[in-house]
Amino acid sequence: MSITQDMTNRTAVITGAGGGLGRAIGERLAASGATIIAMDLPQALTDLPEGWDGVALDLADKAAGDRMRALAAKLGPVSVVVANAGLVPPWRGITDLDAAEWDRVMAVNVWGVAQTLGSFADALAQSGHGSAIVMASINGFKAHPKQVLYTASKHAAIGVMRAAAMDLGSRGVRVNALAPGPIATEALISRIDARHAAGGVPREAALAALASETMLGRLATAQDVANLAHFLASDAAAGLTGHVYPVEAGLA
């Protein structure tokens, strides 16, 4: 039997698809023929590629689950769900945590992931080849100073993925996670620039320092992440579920 990575006639739902890694994944899947349903905050949906359907949604909204379940019922079979939306809070150490900030980040990064997977579970099963992909992080299996909240949220997202893979495997649905290292997205660059403005090193030096920590001597790219997402979404990865795949150019 021929194994293909063609996504023609398959629907992919991607949260946080308006920019960054979500957009890169959507573009990669679309290039392989998928129909893209892009979910994001309203302001992030203003310049979507032609042919994409935008759905305005805040995963922190208490009605988000109901809205996703209604969308799933409307769409019918869905081949791919990418739970990509997430928040990166300001760096804080364990003695400086903010309760309101904690609640919002956990609502999006953990509850939002679980809600997304649960809401589209039936639609994924109906497709006969459903693949769900959770956006984790290298912070999901290691920690860094002053990243307590983000690290906790990504550890939890990986736990959600593993449990969902067990719950949905009998229905033919695969669930995996991507764990990117530093990627030079607009979000990362803006954080580096903000640190520089507060007395940190310039952007070029900061990016070079990050690249020097990898085996390949470069940062992983959004395209690297998108290519692996495409593979996991396709029939070529039909035997893979319950795993976390680092995309970090070989961090030593």
Cα first-last separation, the chain: 39
Q: Answer whether 179's CB lies under 8 Å from 155's CB.
A: no
Q: Answer whether 19's CB lies under 8 Å from 39's CB.
A: no
Cα–Cα nearest to 183, from 21, 67, 41, 16: 21
Indicate which residues carry an active-site annotation: 150
pTM of the model: 0.95
Structural domains of the chain in order of their starting residue, each with its CATH number: 11-181+221-242 (3.40.50.720), 184-219 (no CATH)
Per-residue pLDDT tens digits of the chain, which is 252 residues long: 346 689 999 999 999 999 999 999 999 999 999 999 999 999 999 999 999 999 999 999 999 999 999 999 999 999 999 999 999 999 899 999 999 999 999 999 999 999 999 999 999 999 999 999 999 999 999 998 999 999 999 999 999 999 999 999 999 999 999 999 999 888 788 888 888 888 989 999 999 999 999 999 999 999 999 999 999 999 999 999 999 999 999 996
Q: Provide the edge-to-edge strand list for the sheet that holds 11-15.
A: 53-56, 35-40, 11-15, 80-83, 131-135, 174-180, 244-247
Beta bridge partners of 94: none
Cα–Cα nearest to 34, from 84, 100, 82: 82
pLDDT of residue 3: 61
| Cα separation, 82 vs 157, whole angstroms | 13
